[in-house]
Structure 1
Amino acid sequence: MSEDVLRMGLVGAGQWAHKVHGPGIAAHPRTELVATWARRPEAAAEVAALGKATPFADFDEFLQHVDAVAFAVPPAVQAPLATRAAQAGKHLVLEKPVAPSADEAARLAQAVADAGVTSIMMLTFRYDPATREWLDEVHRTGEWDGGLARWFSGTLLDTKYENSQWRHDGGALADIGPHVFDLLDAALGPVVSVEQVRFDRQVWHVLLGHETGRLSAATLSMHTPVFPAVTDFAVHGPHGFLAFDASGDATSRYAVLLDDFVRLVGGKTAEHPLDVRRGLHLQRLLGRVTDQLAGG
């Protein structure tokens, strides 16, 4: 960092790079978008223009010009590149899911730990003050019997994501599963088991067991033609029913994420509740869900 401004590079040139990461880094008072990299050099150049950054064709050369790297690429691309970035001493803003498998997520988490760099996950709901207020109320009240989540959107019916193959391959489980499982886990305690899974007509039904002995149920679809999307969470018990609508603005949430990230890097702090270890926990949970569906 120079003069309290974090020099950041951006990897990727898709929807989120253009709409959230690039503009967010360029607009934040304590970050500067100085470099971009993508598999297509012309795409890297387009994103670079968002912050008057320099596009690079060589990833290792790109790393030489930054303090930190934000990733906006598929998990199979992110995991090996983020590992290289960590080994080069760069701090990381990581997309979810963090990797295509738990083994690859574990290797990335180990690289981050070995390098002692800061990492933070793009679990965007968690940076919203409204989410934090709901979680505070959940924990303050306590003694909940269980929870539930409903996420219905038509995202994968939209042509703007037709080139996002990993989303179509993994569906709602891969794309929004990390958000949903993270928030249920944060509300009711660590998820330790997957009790039941059903996948029918592009809808996931997942029953989770928490360390507290409570159960939560999640229903997920990105093939339901509904607008705006349904993003409901709730806990229930002797105190009643405490609901939360997780809809919100990704741009403002990203600004809070960068606030946390810059503070951690400036304080030479590697640990955060939503760092790469959280990504690894969620990746293992995704694996359990797919194993349960397969009868494993």
Structure 2
Amino acid sequence: MRIGLLGTGPWARRVHAPALAAHPGFEFAGLCGRNAEAASALAEAHGVPSYPDPEKLFADVDAVSVALPPSVQAGFAVRAAEAGCHLLLDKPVALTVPDARAVHAAVERAGTASVVFFTLRFGAGQASWLAEQTARGGWFTAHCQWLGAVFTAADSPYAASAWRLEKGALWDVGPHALSVLLPVLGAAVRVTAVAGPGDTVHLVLGHASGASSTLTLSLTAPPAAAAGGVGLELRGEAGAARLPERSESPAAAFGRALDALALAAGGGAAHPCGSAFGLEVVEVLAAAEEALRTGAAVLL
């Protein structure tokens, strides 16, 4: 399967491009970026052509991997789907519910496959753990914390990200937490939110299953506080279960997302992390943002 890349930022350079070049089931066929100089440099590094026009890239490939800010990802995803390309998207798929809904609608109309890359959902240890806990059921409550130091550490490659500066941890690491909580506890039906220091936010979710969960999310934690600051614990009829720690690079997990896209594009069932789930995550994030703004619980 021929696949193209949209984007030339740190995530594209560190994860998407190397994984696309290394995957035996895909031919990395070219890329397109809004920064022509960066696009030429990245294309040269991987021996692929740089396309000045995304529509020409779409016409030459079977699938597109999107490593763009979520503020523009949705528009390009719709155009790629309309051109008949399968989609490997990044989280969150958009920053508004209408934009996320447009992506899912375009995928449905085109009949193309879609996968949204959530690192935890495609991690080797995390994926199998998640399947086990979902099958086990009987969960009463859960807590997830994701403390990052993107804006406090001296060497973060993502500190200059405009959309992260604007939207903060809720929209950056919130999707990771939701990608694990929602499959295990069920859809969120009620969201409350309280702001903490910096961009820190605390969420309480009520789930359709009757379970509840709490989330603590931050990109502005002190570096010492952020060390080991990612974790999730479930408690229920089976006792307690803790998410295994990550032990591999994001590129390795991304390779499994590519496997999933190939399977879905080859006639397999729609992947659980497809555009429909991407829309569900955006709906919860938007509800949490509204709860922060109003100070009241929001029903979904």
TM-score, normalised to structure 1, is 0.93
AA aligned opposite 2:217: L
**How many angstroms apart in 1 are the aligned matches of 2:245 and 2:287?**
25
Deviations 1:118-159 (A, max 9, x none): 110011211123112222332343222110101111123345
2:145 corresponds, among 146, 150, 155, to: 150
The equivalent of 2:81 in structure 1 is 86
Aligned to 1:51: 46
Amino acid at match of 2:186: G
SS at match of 2:131: helix
For residues 68-217 of structure 1, what are the structure 2 equivalents within 5 Å? 68-158=63-153, 159-194=156-191, 196-202=192-198, 203-217=200-214
Is 2:78 the partner of 1:64? no
Is the 8 Å Cα contact of residues 120 and 179 (structure 2) preserved in structure 1? Answer: no
Name stretches of at least 5 consecutive residues in structure 2 with no aligned partner: none
Aligned residue number for residue 259 of structure 2: 259
Counterpart CA distance in 2 for 1:140 and 1:284 is 25
Q: 1:23, 1:50 within 8 Å by CA — same for their partners in 2?
A: no
1:32 and 1:156, CA in 2 relative to 1: closer, same or farther beyond 3 A? farther
Is the contact made by 2:5 and 2:64 (CA closer than 8 Å) also made in structure 1? yes
Kept in 2: contact 1:190–1:211 (CA 8 A): yes
Q: For 1:163 and 1:26, locate their aligned partners in 2 and report how far apart those are by CA, in whole Å.
A: 27
Give distance in 2, aligned partners of 1:284 and 1:99: 10
Partner of 2:242: 243
Could you list the per-position Cα deviations for residues 9-41 of structure 1 after superposition, in whole angstroms to 9, with x for gaps in the alignment? 100111111111000000000112111111111
Structure 1 stretch 257-266 or stretch 96-105: which is displaced more? Answer: 257-266
Name the residue aligned to 1:234: 233
Q: Is the 8 A contact 2:134 2:183 kept in 1?
A: no
> Quick one: which amino acid aligns to residue 264 of structure 1?
A
Asked if the contact 1:116–1:270 (Cα under 8 Å) also holds between the matched residues in 2, the reply is: no
Deviations 1:221-260 (A, max 9, x none): 1111135442101111243211114423212111111111
1:36 aligns with 2:35: no
How big is the alpha-carbon RMSD for the aligned residues of Structure 1 and Structure 2?
Answer: 1.5
Cα deviation 1:18-65 (Å, max 9, x = unaligned):
111000000000112111111111111122134311001112122222
Question: How many percent identity over aligned positions?
Answer: 34
| Matching of residues 18-37 of structure 1 within 5 Å | 18-37=13-32
What is the rounded CA distance, in whole Å, between the counterparts of 2:14 and 2:121 in structure 1? 19
**Aligned partners of 1:22 and 1:50 also within 8 Å:** no
- Please list the CA deviations of residues 93-122 of structure 1 after superposition, one character each: whole Å capped at 9, or x if unmatched: 101110120001111110110000111001
| Deviation of the 1:262 alpha carbon | 1.3
Kindly indicate whether the alpha-carbon contact (under 8 Å) linking 1:8 and 1:31 is maintained by their aligned counterparts in 2: yes
Q: Flag structure 1 segments of 5+ consecutive residues without an equivalent.
A: 1-5
Structure 1 contact 44–55 (Cα < 8 Å) conserved: yes
Q: In the alignment, is the contact (CA less than 8 A) between 1:189 and 1:211 conserved in 2?
A: yes
Segment of structure 1 superposing worse, 229-238 or 110-119: 229-238
Q: When the two structures are superposed, what TM-score results if normalisation uses the length of structure 2? A: 0.92
User: Is the contact made by 1:34 and 1:54 (CA closer than 8 Å) also made in structure 2?
Assistant: yes
| 1:252 aligned partner, one-letter code | A
Whichever residue aligns with residue 251 of structure 1, its letter is A
Q: Which amino acid aligns with 2:181?
A: L
Measured in 2, the distance between the counterparts of 1:246 and 1:286 equals 24
Is this contact kept in 2: 1:117–1:270, CA < 8 A? no
The answer as to whether partners of 2:129 and 2:244 remain within 8 angstroms in 1 is no
Rounded to whole Å, the distance in 1 between the matches of 2:254 and 2:38 is 22
